[in-house]
Chains A and B, each alone.
Chain A
Amino acid sequence: MQIEYIGAFQTFLGVLARFWPVWLAMAIVLVASFNFRKHLGLYGQLFDSGVGIAGVSICFFWLFTAIFAAKVAPFDPLSQIPIMKDALPGAIEPASKQVYLFGGDKLARDVFSRMVYGSQIVLIIAPAATAFALMVGITLGLPAGYYGGRIDSFLSFLANLVLAFPVILLFYLLVTPGIMDTPIPYAMAGVFFLFPIIFFSTLFYTRFKGRPERIYLLLGLTLLIGGWVYAGLVFNADPFGIIHIDPNQLNIFVAVVFASSPGVFRIVRGLTMDIKTRDYVAAAQTRGETPWYIMLWEILPNARGPLIVDACLRIGYTTILLGTLGYFGLGLAPESPDWGTAIKDASRLLRSFIHPALPPTIALMSFVLGLNLLADALREQSMKD
């Protein structure tokens, strides 16, 4: 049977049309944010520069693509339609009359749908792993910078130890099928996922120590929600069955957090050492505040500017790390639609077909570019203050 094709221009229009929920959501959010930018603080200031608008738009584009993936993608990312094997862009699938907009890959799956679904994997793991890395880095970096001395030397030595590992070697050692049989990933997850609970408990405890009615509520909530998520993620024993993570995804997650938290630690430590010499810290010390109150409520809020910028860059960097893992076929399932795996599959066949390689590469590049532009715009804004 002969496959029919639509023209290049029609393909282009087709792609634009498939993204309609994304355009709609972006239009609403961006117009609203632009009109109320005076009242939105740091986020609103982003709309003052072209770079900022570009960064925000790209990030929102991928965010909404991930949210509306089921609406945007015409096909299932894993389903194979044999006749469409290596189909060129714009091929019409005979049964459903839907179009393979970016063609088919060597297993006859729709490249466009895979790219769209791939965004979900990246946009769930990358920000979440960055958030955990931030928690670990902050919780350890604050005391290291504030107290100095032995604690600092010890923690810095540990951080340098991890940083001295080339990332790729770390991944080859930590993300292998064999290691899932050992308790190591779970032990590491158990340690890392404890940090958010410690962080928020200390945060609320130091602030509301003298106000029992608030503290019991907040601490209770933290422990309840934290414990629930913790049970679901580490022991895979969520009593309600909502929170669940595959063993290999947990493995990737832990490896990525492990690789990027020393970087956060260093930045937080440096910022803390700088900020602790300020007058308001001395004032708080004179008031007799506890060290942890000073660290969490005096130093941390004043370090937020560089930390937000770093978080943006770090999400991009984590995306690159995930791509690296996918590219080497580590951790993620071989049929997973994430961008790194797709690039790996396509790059082996570049001599015969180039169309399956381009969508995931451009997707990954544009998302990281968006985050970097966002970080740059945020840095410019915080310099102005």
Chain B
Amino acid sequence: MLSFISRRLGTMALTMLCLTLVVFFLINLEPNLRKLAISQTEMRTTSDQLESWLQRNGYRQNFFIRYGQWLGVVQKQPNIDPATGQAVPRFRFCNEPAVPTYSGILQGDFGCSTKFKTPVATKLFPALGATGILMFWVLATMVPIALLIGILAGMREGSRTDRTLSIASIATTATPEYVSGVIFTVIFASWLGWLNGSAASASQGITFYNFTLPVMTLAIYGIGYIARMTRASMVEVMTQQYIRTARLKGLSFGNVVVKHALRNALIAPFTVIMLQFPWLLTGVVIVEVMFRYQGFGYTLVEAAGNNDIDLLLGCSLVSVFIVLITQLISDVGYAYLNPRIRVQ
């Protein structure tokens, strides 16, 4: 088991290295750098001035050296002002050491956000916290509802309950967040006036009034998928020999479902729930933009829209890390939960 986990962690590190390299390459394409230079010099500048800005701030160094600096395996050189010979920071809102240092991701330095004019860490981690709260509520509503629907539907395959619930869950998988968000806002905010169509005030304090719509919107798309998987797993378990044995020895149907079927039927959905995280990430971005909630997704969109290099790299690192770690947890957890695999 240990060697399995360490091998997986190795693959994970390699994947993250490759992915950040790709992201680094795509962000540092020539048109993107020019866009950044234009937005940072803040006035109509000639292309010579843009070029000298890029030159001065070290964007013209070798690609791999810059990647190494970001990663923290190559020393970051201080920015020397040619007129005075003093070291000046590249951006006045971030401190930089005046001597060459290793200062990258590996040392915990995420760099400097050019859009929010602050170090990336002070922007990114509060945003992650905000999104964490959203995610918690989404999972707290999504998982129980989805499992309940799946179990009720899979208990008696082909019954009327099964058909109704199956079609309902197919319908929710056909409703992406930007569709359900609009429909829910129309119904609950514009028409009934029960809920607030914007979660901007949720940063100060979460209330039922301002937080229900984002949670609902985000949960509904995932419910259908998890419920379908739970149903399939439940249907399979209900045809097993031991269920028939339990029924034949006179146990009540409810007893069989709760005591014998449920535990075995929940192994597969566990994996599915874990693998839902990458999907939730996309959903988070849509929902946070739609309801103006200042979290991770909102930060990502702002970073991408303004070509904020360090912030966007930080965001991609975090999201890729989340995707990979949930994959790892789902594999390990599956092996742990399923005795048939554990033995091998």
Give residues in A with beta carbon < 8 Å to B.
Answer: 51, 157, 160-161, 163-169, 172-174, 176-179, 181-182, 184, 316, 320, 323-324, 327-328, 340, 343-344, 346-347, 350-351, 354, 357-358, 361, 364-365, 368-369, 371-373, 376
Contact = CB atoms under 8 A, between A and B. Distances in A.
The 3 closest A-B pairs by CB, nearest first: A178-B31, A172-B304, A369-B174
A161 B182 contact: no
B186 A51 contact: no
Judged by DSSP, the binding face of B is helix
A371 to B, nearest CB: 8
A376 B166 CA distance: 10
B264 interface: no
Contact of A361 (B179, B189, B300, B319): B179
Given A181-B30, A358-B186, A347 B176 contact: no
A269 to B, nearest CB: 17
Given A347-B181, A347-B182, A164 B15 contact: yes
Interface stretch (B19-27, B78-86, B88-96): B19-27
**In the complex, which range does the number of interface residues on chain B fall in?**
35 or more
Interface in B259-306: 278, 281-282, 285-286, 289-290, 297, 300-301, 304
17 contacts: A161-B15, A167-B282, A168-B281, A168-B285, A172-B301, A173-B27, A176-B31, A178-B35, A184-B29, A320-B176, A327-B178, A328-B289, A343-B178, A354-B190, A365-B174, A365-B179, A372-B173
Contact of A174 (B26, B167, B176, B186): B26
B185 interface: yes
Given A173-B26, A181-B30, A369-B171, A324 B176 contact: yes
Contact of A343 (B19, B179, B297): B179
B197 interface: yes
B170 interface: yes
Given A163-B323, A173-B27, A365-B179, 8 more contacts: A161-B15, A161-B19, A164-B327, A172-B301, A347-B290, A350-B182, A368-B175, A373-B170
B245 to A, nearest CB: 25
Judged by DSSP, the binding face of A is helix
B166 to A, nearest CB: 8
A340 B171 CA distance: 19
Contacts of B243: none
Interface string B36-59: 000000000000000000000000
Nearest to A55: B170
Given A168-B282, A172-B304, A324-B286, A376 B170 contact: yes
Contact of B316 (A169, A182, A184): A169
Given A168-B281, A323-B178, A182 B300 contact: no
B315 A169 contact: yes
A164 B178 contact: no
B174 A178 contact: no
Contacts of A182: 29-31
